[in-house]
Structure 1
Amino acid sequence: MVHQNAILVETIRKENRTQKLFTNFSINPFTQSYALTGKVNSIHDALMEAGEEDETMKRAIAQSRAPPTRKYIRPQTESQEIGWISQPLLTDQDHNDRRLFHNRQKTEIVKIKEKEWELNPAGSSRK
């Protein structure tokens, strides 16, 4: 009995060391809230109908609905690293620069087949 009580006391002491008591509660902004009708003859509902809005709650909801690139500075997971920077590196592309711009080129075989299809669209077999 003494050993079991000592183990119980040690377990409770460890739990009390790691636990925190939270007294500041709020609505989870990441879940969708639905509008519910209020109580009959409630003063609080009458004030809400007059146009009173909680600005901090509106900001929390707006931030929860924002894409991750606007919420966080850096990716939070490895999966978010792919595509995190989605803007192209070069904004003005010079189409004359052959290092960066590879235009579609037609070979002689493609040109011959295109001419054949232009002359006889129904008779040629496209393979």
Structure 2
Amino acid sequence: MASAKQPKEKDPLDIVHQNAIHVETVKKENRSQKLYTKFSINPYKKFHVHTDKPTSSSTQDNVTDSAFIKALHDARLEPTKKYRYPQTESQEIGWISTPLIVSDRSDRRVNWPRQNSEITKYMDAAWRLKEQTQNLG
């Protein structure tokens, strides 16, 4: 019978080896990280401004940043003003909302304005009278 090989036991790591492993891990992490030093508020995320406490006596001067305010206004525009083309499939419906032809109200072929006859004028007056009596009573 073949004898089963016994796994070789490892020597416990001493502090020097553990420190070397830690230093190598930190170097690998630092290679893939980037240091950001400029921070700003995301204009596409809604945020709420809270007022000061009523008992506080200190008032802060509101310093307005025109670029930040412009970014906030641009973030709240409708998609047709923000983007040149639709960004999703659902935006494609209704993206072009301008009419294909100019509407001409004087063209009788395509425009049929409301016309009142004697009967429709009488019924309009009757309905108005009925509404007035219901509102009074």
- Higher alpha-carbon Rg: 2
**What TM-score comes out, normalization by structure 1 length?**
0.49
